[in-house]
Amino acid sequence: MLTDAVESYLAVRRACGFELKYQVHRLRSFAAFSGERAKSYVCSETAIEWAGLARSAGERARRLGDVIQFARYARAEDPRHELPPAAFGPENRGRPVPYIFSTQQIERLVQAAHQPVYQDLRRDTFSTLFALLACTGLRVSEAIHLRFADITPDGLVIQRTKFRKSRLVPLHETARAQLAVYLERRRRCASFDDHVFVSSRGTPLVLGDVERAFHAIATKAGLPRESGRPRATLHALRHSFAVRALETCPDGRDRITQHMLALSTYLGHSKVADTYWYLEATPQLMRKIAERCESFVTGAQP
C-alpha cells in the first residue's frame, strides 16, 4: 500500500514539472524499508530509522525531508500516515563560501587553457568556454548545451536552463568578437553536430570531461589550493561574475533593487533571494555593507 502511495505521489510531482532525480530512488527505498517492517503507512519512527542509515548529516536531512513532503501529500487522503518531525535538521544547510577569481587569475586560466597542452580544437574550445563563463556568468551546463542557433544578434538564447525557463544573455562586443573568432575555427572541424563547444571527436562536451580539463588547467595556471580555503571550480566563474556585478551596484535604495532584480533575471535565478546570497559571499562585499550601515547609523553621507 505504501509503495502505491509513493508511485501516486511521484506521478503527481512529475505532472507538475518536477524532474525528481534523486527523490524517486529515496522514496522507493523508504517504501521497501517500511514494507520489510510491515508498515503500510508512513511511520515516524521507521522514517527516522531509515533516514538515519545515511552516512552524512546532510543526506540524512534530505532523506527525511523527502519523506516529510511525501507524508504531507499522503495524509491529505489518509490521516493514518504520520508526519515525521525534522529530526536531522533542515535539508538546506548554509552554503559554503565560494572561491572568487581575480581578474588576473581568470586571465591566467584562459591563457593556460590556450597553451599546447591540448591539441587541435580543444585548446580553443576550453579557453573560449572558460572566458565565456567568466564574462557572462552562465552555468556550465547552459554553456555546453549552446547551439549555433542560440547565438543571435541580441545575445545568447539560453534554452536549457536549470528551471526550464529560456532567457536572453546579452554579450559585450569584445565577448562577441572573441566568440566569432572561435566559431570560425570551430566550423573547420569535421563535425556535423551543431553544438557550439565540441570535443576532439566532434561530439558535444560532457561535463565530467570539462571539469577534469578545468582542474588540470587550473593547476597549470598556478591557482592556489590551500587547505581550509575554497577551491577553484568551474562554477566559481559564475560566482565571480555575480560578485563583480554586485560590486558595481549603484547607490540608492530603488536603484539597488532594480540592479538586484536585473542581475537575478540575467543569472536565471528562480528566486531573488539566491542573488542576495552573494552579498554575504565575500569579505569585500560584507565590508562595504558594514561601512554603509555604519554611515547610516552615524548619520554620515554614504
Q: Is 235 a known active-site residue? A: yes
Q: CB neighbours of 19 closer than 8 A, spacing ≥ 6?
A: none
- Determine whether 100 is exposed, middle or buried from the number of CB atoms within 10 Å of its CB (0-12, 13-18, 19+): buried
- Determine whether 42 is exposed, middle or buried from the number of CB atoms within 10 Å of its CB (0-12, 13-18, 19+): buried
Q: Is 25 a known active-site residue? A: no
Q: Is 123 a known active-site residue? A: no
- Beta-carbon neighbour count of residue 38 at 10 Å? 7
Q: Is 238 a known active-site residue? A: yes
Exactly one of 162, 185, 287, 292 is catalytic; which is it?
162
Q: Is 73 a known active-site residue? A: no
Exactly one of 13, 139, 195, 239 is catalytic; which is it?
139
Exactly one of 73, 269, 276, 288 is catalytic; which is it?
269
- Go through the chain and tell me how many residues it has: 302
C-alpha–C-alpha distance, residues 74 and 293, integer Å: 48
By DSSP bridging, strand 155-158 and strand 167-169 are antiparallel
Exactly one of 28, 147, 235, 244 is catalytic; which is it?
235
Exactly one of 26, 238, 239, 266 is catalytic; which is it?
238
Q: Is 81 a known active-site residue? A: no
C-alpha–C-alpha distance, residues 150 and 179, integer Å: 13
What is the phi/psi pair of residue 249, to 5°? Answer: -60, 130
Cα distances (angstroms) measured from residue 186 to each of 78, 169, 179, 182, 211: 59, 21, 10, 6, 21
Q: Cell numbers 540524512 label which residue?
A: 60
Q: Catalytic residue numbers?
A: 139, 162, 235, 238, 269, 278
